[in-house]
Structure 1
């Protein structure tokens, strides 16, 4: 992998990772590899069907690059765990998300589950994971990080993040710590707009930067940028992704980072809407980024690549800047993926019950994660009486909220312990008709368990109204369990019992059911602070 053998176009191509929209190589990705010498691809759920298909797709893409005389590809993904997992398949181990791991207060669990994830991704031909998210989530109104963070304490986020990085990179996956210099204390989703973190440098060093400093000490391969404005570091109103003060001044010079800097996707509104994808790519490279991520649209991808080429030809970007970035990229490719192995046979993937050691570990992590925040005499349920379960269904999908297609509801899980379980499934944003249906059914029940689900910054209004209506009915037992955002309690502070699950995946619902039925205890430690004075403190 010698940079002197590459043309300008080939070098620029190495600086881009792009996505496409099919289960097999399509015209979009063929164009990018064959005509633009693409350095890497990124998978989304649109690229995933059977696991054997993913492994075959990875091999086909590498073969396409090789046939074009190109270097081996990065094959990247956002397989964070929990509610952000691009590979949704029953044979893929359901790795818990970061906040659930933070609630265990045990970085060894973060290491062990990440080893499993890395080994499975390697079988699929994936060699880069845009994880872990090491943002410190200390803003309850954050609409985009939330449970993707290990918690609100910087030191603990740093230790969990380091464990994940070590697990990935020891098992052949380049880790990418994100979103530098920290997306945790924002109330704007950078997919939709521009956020600003107003803290001074001293506070940033004490909180936001700590996990990244630890990641650098762990020799993380990649750091991903945040499309967030940091006035204390960059005086101009531009996001970190486009700021030379942030990427070169802070990350390269002050923190002595020597690995690869990759941008978050430039098609996110924080860049595309305010700067444009092409201009954003140029400014990101000027700022110090080595790799530009453009995930979705072929016209945007070509625009960005061509804009960088024209910037070099016009003298705006010196070719030495390109060479420095590509040298880093080639060095890491040499280390991680210089020899793409020929698959002698299709890899074998196993059902959950065929992986007993993995199954036991993930069950244990779920038990150690679930947190009992408050209980005013509501637990356990009377297993000899009927129970009404209210289950919110996630009926829409975003890039940071990806429910698994194989669902085990809380009602399903409770049926193993209680003879009569009635479950009403409602929308995560229930309307008045759904609310009235639940309240009518609850009127004749002595025990009601409500699962809440918040993907954004606040409990949806319909869920809040529903819980308040149930409180007014003076039920025998009313228990609320948040199945994603732990901050739901801030919107329904009067509930008599509240547990946090951090995700609604099967291991967690099965563990929650056992706790509700009195067969086990909630052992998790709350990794964030809540407003309720009766809530347990942050760990």
Structure 2
């Protein structure tokens, strides 16, 4: 297929498919990532010769909205010059702690913070704003919303990315989010089908198993995905998880024809794109091998194979799919079914018929990070701050010298990717006139700093203490320090800066709040609430034991 001399791609998926070679079709089923912030010769070759259907951006590809738009334009130009349809340009821009573009945009709060703020309209607005900004950079597919029901406090990878533990609420907020993205012209992806919320294993590292029976899954895990399908979600991402109730063989969903074709396609009636999660995650790579599993996923019913990192694996997967067709393991007709869906979505999102022209990605950047967009993020963030326990006269904070200890965010799972050095909660409080002794400690290094911090806290000039924890449930030294600080008898407030479950491992804490993320905006919102400048209005999206059920929240 060569689209260079046809005045664009045309917008008829069937006509484009009819003109495709086998190599064209195989390439369209690959979504690939790469290192760097500019188009290199190797990536150009992957696009033009490998005929790939899409690119995934990570933080490694991002410097600014302007640079992303230029990169996108160069990639789309490479596709045009290679005679292939315009690319899906995809990203994980969930908001909150999982976002690849954080500067120059209105970074929205994440799922749990939005749910804590309590408005489905907010969920829509956040996605619509974010979607408009992504579209301005030429990004046309987002891996959001997360529609996993997070009902496991020990879940190491979903947590605050979820809208909470109540299935109907997750479904409703997820549906509002996908509508927001798609109304902005960006394809939404409901993930991680059929549910990654009740695991204590990160599928980036190993293969989790969810043992629940089908009745329970209908009541919990599947409910949000059913609504996503009813709302017309463009894509669904499969989970690398084994569900014995759904699959008789020990296969993760990504490789299960019983689940992807039998359940998702035939029973639930999903007609959109089935996208795999990254095939280099250990749940797949260590058990099946990225290349072989790519063929298995297509056999199972996947339309697009995501290989985020290594070029050798991407090229090997393309070759393996070709061999599978030559050997009769896959039929070309099977590929046609998926490629037709992929082209149909590209047409729906305006990529065909000239809509993916290289220069188009450079238009509209002025709408990134506008005052109006930033106001949406601020409004939601401030509404999300949740006061869970208030058993001592600490809040609002008094104008005393305050020791503020902040557990710095750390990369706890590959989905976090990286965090730039950020100021602590003390910096935010200082901006509002509070005299602070500000200490920012790596989240996993509290043990070595505890003696020093206790000594500072005990000093006479310190009148009160604020501790910002970060996943203390997985970093016990944070909880141990909190309990030790509490014994000093000084007024103290603890603020959870990621998972709200931290309270469960520090039961002696008397004043406890949650903001669900440690992005600068969340720290600013926390500071305002602690000082009494804004009310505590958030409500817990998850239960923290029987005393603090989902929906709980206090005010001063």
> Scaled by the length of structure 2, what TM-score is found?
0.92
In the alignment, the residues of structure 1 paired with residue 234 and residue 338 of structure 2 have an alpha-carbon distance, to the nearest angstrom, of 13
User: Aligned to 2:256, which of 243, 251, 270?
Assistant: 243
Partner of residue 76, structure 2: 62
Partner of residue 466, structure 2: 449
Kept in 1, the 8 Å contact 2:165–2:550? The answer is: no
C-alpha displacement of 1:51: 1.6
Q: Deviations over 1:504-533 (max 9, x none)?
A: 1122211111111122221011000112x5
In the alignment, the residues of structure 1 paired with residue 229 and residue 320 of structure 2 have an alpha-carbon distance, to the nearest angstrom, of 31
Q: Deviations over 1:332-388 (max 9, x none)?
A: 111111122453795565699x73322322221112111111011243144331111
C-alpha displacement of 1:170: 1.1
In the alignment, the residues of structure 2 paired with residue 378 and residue 389 of structure 1 have an alpha-carbon distance, to the nearest angstrom, of 18
In the alignment, the residues of structure 1 paired with residue 199 and residue 408 of structure 2 have an alpha-carbon distance, to the nearest angstrom, of 27
In the alignment, the residues of structure 1 paired with residue 447 and residue 158 of structure 2 have an alpha-carbon distance, to the nearest angstrom, of 29
Q: Deviations over 1:440-459 (max 9, x none)?
A: 0100223100000018xx23
Kept in 1, the 8 Å contact 2:106–2:370? The answer is: no
C-alpha displacement of 1:230: 0.6
C-alpha displacement of 1:284: 0.4
Q: Are residues 1:262 and 2:275 paired?
A: yes
Partner of residue 223, structure 2: 210
Q: Are residues 1:314 and 2:331 paired?
A: no
Between stretches 376-385 and 427-436, larger displacement belongs to: 376-385
User: Aligned to 2:359, which of 330, 335, 343?
Assistant: 343
User: Aligned to 1:84, which of 93, 98, 103?
Assistant: 98
Partner of residue 485, structure 1: 499
Task: Identify if the C-alpha distance between structure 1 residues 121 and 364 changes in structure 2 by more than 3 Å, giving closer, same or farther.
Answer: same
In the alignment, the residues of structure 1 paired with residue 19 and residue 200 of structure 2 have an alpha-carbon distance, to the nearest angstrom, of 46
- DSSP-derived class of the 1:436 partner: helix
Between stretches 466-475 and 94-103, larger displacement belongs to: 466-475
Q: Are residues 1:132 and 2:145 paired?
A: yes
Q: Are residues 1:158 and 2:183 paired?
A: no
Kept in 2, the 8 Å contact 1:15–1:325? The answer is: yes
In the alignment, the residues of structure 2 paired with residue 161 and residue 118 of structure 1 have an alpha-carbon distance, to the nearest angstrom, of 15
Matches within 5 A, 1:83-122: 83-89=97-103, 91-122=104-135
Task: Identify if the C-alpha distance between structure 1 residues 12 and 123 changes in structure 2 by more than 3 Å, giving closer, same or farther.
Answer: same
In the alignment, the residues of structure 2 paired with residue 320 and residue 297 of structure 1 have an alpha-carbon distance, to the nearest angstrom, of 28
Q: Are residues 1:4 and 2:18 paired?
A: yes
Q: Are residues 1:471 and 2:509 paired?
A: no
Kept in 2, the 8 Å contact 1:131–1:177? The answer is: yes
Partner of residue 383, structure 1: 398
Partner of residue 494, structure 1: 508
C-alpha displacement of 1:534: 4.3
In the alignment, the residues of structure 2 paired with residue 59 and residue 111 of structure 1 have an alpha-carbon distance, to the nearest angstrom, of 28
In the alignment, the residues of structure 1 paired with residue 319 and residue 78 of structure 2 have an alpha-carbon distance, to the nearest angstrom, of 22
Task: Identify if the C-alpha distance between structure 1 residues 283 and 348 changes in structure 2 by more than 3 Å, giving closer, same or farther.
Answer: closer
How many residues matched?
Answer: 533
- DSSP-derived class of the 2:431 partner: coil
User: Aligned to 2:204, which of 179, 186, 191?
Assistant: 191
Kept in 2, the 8 Å contact 1:88–1:405? The answer is: no
Q: Are residues 1:51 and 2:68 paired?
A: no
Kept in 2, the 8 Å contact 1:454–1:460? The answer is: yes
Kept in 1, the 8 Å contact 2:152–2:198? The answer is: yes
Q: Deviations over 1:154-197 (max 9, x none)?
A: 10101111111111111110100000000000010000000011
Task: Identify if the C-alpha distance between structure 1 residues 29 and 225 changes in structure 2 by more than 3 Å, giving closer, same or farther.
Answer: same
Q: Deviations over 1:478-514 (max 9, x none)?
A: 1110000111111111100110100011222111111
Between stretches 381-390 and 4-13, larger displacement belongs to: 381-390
- Extract unaligned runs of 5+ from structure 1: none
Partner of residue 47, structure 2: 33
In the alignment, the residues of structure 1 paired with residue 146 and residue 358 of structure 2 have an alpha-carbon distance, to the nearest angstrom, of 32
In the alignment, the residues of structure 1 paired with residue 386 and residue 403 of structure 2 have an alpha-carbon distance, to the nearest angstrom, of 21
In the alignment, the residues of structure 2 paired with residue 230 and residue 344 of structure 1 have an alpha-carbon distance, to the nearest angstrom, of 43
In the alignment, the residues of structure 2 paired with residue 178 and residue 344 of structure 1 have an alpha-carbon distance, to the nearest angstrom, of 29
Q: Are residues 1:421 and 2:436 paired?
A: yes
Partner of residue 409, structure 1: 424
Kept in 2, the 8 Å contact 1:44–1:77? The answer is: yes
Task: Identify if the C-alpha distance between structure 1 residues 71 and 170 changes in structure 2 by more than 3 Å, giving closer, same or farther.
Answer: same
Root-mean-square deviation over aligned CA pairs: 1.8
Q: Are residues 1:179 and 2:192 paired?
A: yes
- DSSP-derived class of the 1:233 partner: coil
